[in-house]
């Protein structure tokens, strides 16, 4: 199973922090590309600690600059969308 499908499968059980999702991927680059693809396709949402959704411009900036791998990683989590759940 691809890491992206594994991500969706794991998220069926509930929201997960990015640091947990990161472990499903081979390395930082695969993680950034995989999660960015899931976000772009609408299969998942990126959330802040306060449960607010991170806007698309912000997650594109975070994943593009690799900032998510540093300070922001522990403070964010993923939530599967209805679309993403249908893919499993």
**Backbone CA torsion sign across 29, 79, 4, 41:** negative
Determine the Cα–Cα distance for residues 11 and 8; give it in Å rounded to an integer: 5
Best CATH choice for the domain 3-87 from the list 2.60.120, 1.10.10, 3.55.50, 1.20.120: 1.10.10
More confident residue, 71 or 84: 84
User: Residues 4-42: pLDDT tens digits?
Assistant: 999 999 999 999 999 999 999 999 889 989 999 999 999
79 strand-pairing partners: 45
Domain ranges of the chain: 3-87
- Look up the pTM and report it: 0.89
**For 67-73, which contacts have Cβ atoms below 8 Å and span 24 or more sequence positions?**
68/18, 68/32, 69/28, 69/31, 69/32, 73/18, 73/19, 73/22
């Amino acid at each position: 199973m691809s890491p992206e499908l594994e991500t969706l499968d794991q998220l069926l059980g509930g929201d997960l922090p990015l640091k947990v999702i990161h472990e499903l991927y081979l390395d930082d680059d695969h993680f950034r590309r995989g999660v960015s693809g899931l976000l772009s396709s609408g299969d998942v949402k990126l959330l802040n600690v306060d449960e607010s959704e991170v806007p698309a411009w912000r997650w594109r900036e975070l994943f593009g600059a690799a900032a998510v791998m540093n300070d922001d990683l522990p403070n964010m989590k993923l939530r599967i969308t209805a679309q993403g759940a249908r893919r499993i």
